[in-house]
Structure 1
Amino acid sequence: MSEVFFNLTGFQRDLLYVIANLEKPSGQAVKEAYENSVENEISDARLYPNLDTLVNEGLLQKGDLDRRTNYYTITDEGLRALETRRTWENGLVAQFH
């Protein structure tokens, strides 16, 4: 698995999972989906720097919806990283049985 993916925070990995299940969400749509799934609020000050990190690492792509609003999509590298992570986690869990 890529070293980049292991260096992500749990929050950043969670954002990847959320975005993988949405179609070109804005930052606010990501925020709402995340908050609904974990029943916990996050600030814009926490969200946007983490989205930028994921873009810079090549795991997300950012585009323009309009002059004020960006959208995010998961890249092929981001999807591979999620799949590899799941395989790794499943292998660890299987060892406990």
Structure 2
Amino acid sequence: MHDLTGFQRDLLYVIGGLDDPHGLALKDELEDYYESEVHHGRLYPNLDTLVDKGLVEKGKVDDRTNSYSLTRRGRREIEARREWEDEYVDA
């Protein structure tokens, strides 16, 4: 997780919070959070990076739409990150 960008970490959290979201659902969620447009050229390469790192699994909804879900490793990385954050931030 230490080698991910903030945007990639945010993607992991959003993917983990939705049921097998597709790219446009992720884009919408992130745009709500960032309060600005997330371009396809930013979103999809970062999703591919998370897939390549084994943190996210990409599935196929139809010929034009992919779904995304966390792998076990992706979930473990989020849990480890939250434990690390808890060491520094009071709940």
**Which category describes the TM-score, using the shorter chain as reference length?**
over 0.9
Question: For this pair of structures, how many residues does the alignment match?
Answer: 90
Cα deviations by residue, 1:10-59 (Å, 9 ceiling, x for unpaired): 00000000110111111111100111122221100000000000000010
* Post-superposition offset of 1:68: 0.9
Map of 1:31 onto structure 2? 27
Unpaired runs of 5+ in structure 1? Answer: none
The correspondence for 1:76, drawn from 72, 75, 88, is 72
Query: Which is higher, the Rg of structure 1 or of structure 2?
Result: 1
Give the 3-state SS of the residue equivalent to 2:59 in structure 1. Answer: strand
Percent sequence identity over aligned pairs: 53
Give the counterpart of 1:54 among 43, 50, 55.
50
Report the more deviating stretch, 35-44 or 83-92.
35-44
Cα RMSD (Å) of the superposition? 0.9
Q: Secondary structure at the match of 1:41?
A: coil
Could you state the TM-score of these two structures normalised by the residue count of structure 1?
Answer: 0.88
